């Protein structure tokens, strides 16, 4: 961690800590989470997997994802589309099991 000395008018020396990697680490973690989210949403969109989405206020929505971006997704059901903001979503449950990645040797049975 880099430090920068701040010299006051008195005789003491003060140090201000600067951590240049904190922002980068948070961004990398956010990128990984976003990639998993994008992978999941893109998979259920392409396979037209029916979803049940619970919002933070308890409302239950059901439908198929037809489009999404960083902030919202478009949910279609019975010929009608709903634009749902991601910050309002609590849980997404696919109607059928999905496999996003190939299982390796250490994959759970």
The answer to whether position 43 is within a domain reads: yes
The CB density around residue 71, as the number of other CB atoms within 10 Å, is: 9
pLDDT per residue, tens digit, the chain (109 aa), is 454 444 455 545 444 555 555 555 666 666 665 589 999 999 999 999 999 999 999 999 999 999 999 999 999 999 999 999 999 999 999 999 999 877 756 555 5
CATH of the domain at 87: 2.30.30.100
The reported pLDDT for the residue numbered 38 is: 93
Q: What is the pTM of this model?
A: 0.65
Tally the domains of the chain.
Answer: 1
The answer to whether position 9 is within a domain reads: yes
- Cβ neighbours for 27, distance < 8 A, ≥ 6 positions apart: none
Structural domain boundaries enclosing 39: 2-94
The answer to whether position 99 is within a domain reads: no
The answer to whether position 106 is within a domain reads: no
The reported pLDDT for the residue numbered 93 is: 98
The answer to whether position 84 is within a domain reads: yes
The answer to whether position 81 is within a domain reads: yes
Distance in angstroms (rounded) separating the CA atoms of residues 70 and 88? 13
23: left (phi over 0), alpha (psi -120 to 50) or beta: alpha
């Amino acid at each position: 961690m880099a430090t920068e000395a701040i010299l006051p008018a008195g005789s003491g020396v003060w140090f201000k800590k600067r951590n240049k990697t904190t922002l980068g680490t948070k961004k990398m973690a956010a990128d990984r989470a976003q990639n998993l989210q994008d992978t999941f949403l893109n998979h259920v969109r392409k396979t037209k997997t029916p979803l049940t989405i619970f919002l933070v206020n308890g409302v239950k929505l059901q439908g198929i994802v037809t489009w999404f971006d960083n902030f919202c997704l478009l949910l279609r059901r019975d010929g009608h589309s709903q634009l749902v903001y991601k910050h309002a979503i609590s849980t997404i449950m696919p109607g059928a099991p999905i496999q996003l990645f190939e299982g390796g040797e250490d994959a759970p049975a």
